Amino acid sequence: MSLLEVETLRVAFDTEAGPVEAVRGISFAVDRERVAIVGESGSGKSVTGRSILRLVRPPGRVAADRMHFDGQDLLALSERRMRAIRGQRIAMVMQDPKFALNPVMTIGDQMTEGLRYRDGMSRRKARSIAIEMLAAVQIRDGERVMRAYPHEMSGGMGQRVMIAMMLIPDPDLLIADEPTSALDVTVQAEILAILDDLVKQRGMGLIFISHDLRLVSRFCDRVLVMYRGKIVERLDANHLERAQHPYTRGLLNCLPSIGGDRGALPVLNRDAAWAE
């Protein structure tokens, strides 16, 4: 039995213009490993992550044949039990970290809230854990950042604060939605090393949502490729060259490279049949 098992997950939203099928029957399992979800903008990656944590609100509709986490049926849990799992056992680093953080609460209060009120830790102890975590994500002026509000963070700092915050409770499963999209390669490497360590040393499961196929090929174990709400391909991360799907194969050609000729970059001609 895997840590997380998802069978035939469907998510639809009712909009004024009619229903939008964001996720169209996907199945996957995650163990104590690094699983990547890649795919085009709008393909359903974030919605998939959010539905695992029951964060899709009406008029969004989530249905699945089965959704089990560590032996518990996530579909049947009461809202109260779900709250206990959310953030504690399954944490999610949101794609828009500044939006996900509480704008009127200092970073320090948000980071230490759980430690103090749930774990009953002293203010001092909680603070020192939070500052240590900020240092781990390469935030040097942790003291100042603890006193600051989310809007006072740079883009990349907000991302790192969110990662630090989600790692404090030591979750069994981390869903990281584009966690390093605002970070340059040098800081990115440090963050990935932390995540790697948590998977290898502490047996955390990691769902790494990213649009960066190259990054994922180096960092993850397995890759799920989504296209228009479906998983169209499943690959071993170190064998992406075996990709069959034209979307996956076309993706890497679109990237610019240093010293390139600066001509128009190749783009994908999407085929309606890919979505089938």
Partner 1 sequence: MPLIEIDNLHVTFGKGRDAVRAVRGVSVSVAACESFGLVGESGSGKSTILRAICGLAPVTGGNIRINGVPMPKRRTKAFSKRIQMVFQDPYAALHPKRSVDATLAEPLAIHGIAGRDERVVRAMHDVGLDPRFRFRYPHQLSGGQRQRVVIARALMLEPEILLLDEPTSALDASVQAEVLNLLARLRVERSLTYLMVSHDLAVIDHMCDRLAVMQNGQVVEQLDRAALANDGAVEPYTRALFRASEHDTMGRVFPE
Per CB under 5 A, residues contacting Mg ion are 46, 95, 154-155
Contact flags string 44-73 toward partner 1, x per CB under 8 A: -xxx--------------------------
For residue 245, give the nearest of 274, 216, 270 by alpha carbon.
274
Q: How many of the other CB atoms lie within 10 Å of CB of 257? A: 7
Interface stretch with partner 1, choices 61-69, 71-79, 164-172, 207-215 (CB under 8 A): 207-215
Q: Which is nearer to ligand ATP, 11 or 126 (CB)?
A: 11
Instruction: Tell me if 135 sits within 8 A of 154, measured CB to CB.
Output: no
Closest approach of ligand ATP to the CB of residue 97, in Å: 11
Instruction: For residue 186, state whether it binds partner 1 (rule: CB under 8 A).
Output: yes
Residue partners of 118: CB distance under 8 A and separation at least 6: none
The CA–CA distances, whole Å, from 31 to 6, 145, 230 equal 12, 34, 21
Q: Which is nearer to ligand ATP, 47 or 163 (CB)?
A: 47
The CA–CA distances, whole Å, from 168 to 134, 171, 199, 253, 262 equal 10, 8, 15, 38, 44
Contact flags string 13-32 toward ligand ATP, x per CB under 6 A: x-x----x-x----------
Residue 254 token pair? 């679109």
Eight-class DSSP state of 86: B
The amino acid that residue 45 corresponds to is K
Site for ligand ATP in 111-150 (CB under 6 A): none
Closest approach of partner 1 to the CB of residue 19, in Å: 12
At 168 the three-state DSSP class reads coil
Q: Which is nearer to ligand ATP, 20 or 252 (CB)?
A: 20
Closest approach of ligand ATP to the CB of residue 61, in Å: 11
Instruction: Tell me if 36 sits within 8 A of 223, measured CB to CB.
Output: yes
Whether a cis peptide bond, with omega within 30° of 0, leads into 103 is: no
Site for ligand ATP in 37-66 (CB under 6 A): 39, 41-47, 60
Contact flags string 109-128 toward partner 1, x per CB under 8 A: --------------------
The footprint of ligand ATP (CB under 6 A) covers 13, 15, 20, 22, 39, 41-47, 60, 95, 151-157, 182, 211
